[in-house]
Amino acid sequence: MLVLIGILIIIAGFLLRFNPLLVIMASALATGLAAGLDIAAIIAAFGKAFNDTRYVSIIWIVLPVIGLLEAYGLQQHARSLIDRMKGATLGRLLTGYLLLRQAMAAVGLTSVAGHAQTVRPLVAPMAEAAAEARNDALSDAQREEVKAFAAATDNVGLFFGEDIFLAIGSILLMKGVLDGYGYQIEPLHFSLWAIPTAVAAFLIHGFRLRRLERRMAQTPAGAETGA
């Protein structure tokens, strides 16, 4: 039971808005000590995992290209594309991206799009432009919500598309764990059973995107307007 102290530290740390890096380190040390590990072993375990997971941080190599393109006006161009397309409403744009992201993830192309590669330079500015086209008094709070939904749509599309692909890590994990209990299951069965949820995710999130579009078409009275 004592090892659960790390979870309490994480929850309290995030709620009190301490620097998350400090909170994580404190949680790791407390959890390790509660489990009877010595400090050197905890630091070594943490260091080994940090080194093994470096691949999650290599996405930042796209930033020089994105920075260069943005300095030359990529975001403005993405916006002007939306302005020229008459039918491109906020809801249709993000729903289209949701479908594209789910479809690509379903064939294993998970890193092709993402927050750094596509959301910041293209999807978020396009979504903002689409919202502005219907509401010339878009407030700052609304602008934030539109951008947040652009990122959320990327996540929903990725999560509820990728498990349809046979060779994704989570499918291999499921197969491995069930093998351990003596159940031999073909990866295809896991893939097929991911489809109903993928459809449900598209319907639920798509419905919310339509409501977002309606909400963004009007600025609530009293809200400060954005630049």
Partner 1 sequence: MITLEFVYILAGLTFAIFALLGLYDRTSPKRFGNAAFWGLLAVSMIVGDYLGDFGNGLLVLALVAIAGTGQICRAPGGDVPADVQAERAARHGPFLLVVALIIPAVALAGTFLFKWVPGLADPKQATLISLAIGVLIALAVAMARLRPAPLLPLQQGRRLLDAVGWAAILPQMLASLGAVFALAGVGEVVGGLIGTAIPEGSLFGATLAFGLGMALFTMVMGNAFAAFPVMLAAVGMPLLIEQYGGNPAVIAAIGMLAGFCGTLMTPMAANFNLVPAALLELKNPYGVIRAQVGTALPLLAVNILFIWLFAF
**Ranges within 177-196 binding partner 1 (CB under 8 A):** 177-178, 181, 183, 185, 189-191, 193-194, 196
Binding flag, residue 1, partner 1 (CB under 8 A) = yes
* Span of 85-93, 111-119, 130-138, 216-224 interacting with partner 1 by CB under 8 A: 111-119
Binding flag, residue 3, partner 1 (CB under 8 A) = yes
| Binding to partner 1, residues 61-80 (CB under 8 A) | 61-78, 80
Binding flag, residue 95, partner 1 (CB under 8 A) = no
Q: How far apart are CA 79 and CA 91, in angstroms?
A: 15
* b/e code 140-161 from CB counts within 10 Å (16+ = b): eebbebbbebbebbbebbbbbb
Residue with tokens 């090892």: 3
CB 192 within 8 A of CB 166: no
Binding flag, residue 12, partner 1 (CB under 8 A) = no
Instruction: Indicate the residue among 91 and 121 with the shorter CB distance to partner 1.
Output: 121
CA-CA-CA-CA torsion for 200, 205, 206, 210, nearest 10 degrees?
A: 140
| Binding to partner 1, residues 136-165 (CB under 8 A) | 144-145, 147-152, 154-156, 159-160, 163
Binding flag, residue 28, partner 1 (CB under 8 A) = yes
Q: Which of 132, 205, 213, 216 binds partner 1 (CB under 8 A)?
A: 205
| Rg of the chain over all Cα atoms, to the nearest angstrom | 22
Binding flag, residue 166, partner 1 (CB under 8 A) = no
Q: Which of 12, 197, 214, 218 binds partner 1 (CB under 8 A)?
A: 197
Q: At what angle do helices 39-52 and 20-34 cross, to 10 degrees?
A: 130
Q: How far apart are CA 148 and CA 142, in angstroms?
A: 10
Q: How far apart are CA 184 and CA 77, in angstroms?
A: 52
Tell me the closest approach of the beta carbon of residue 176 to partner 1, in angstroms.
9
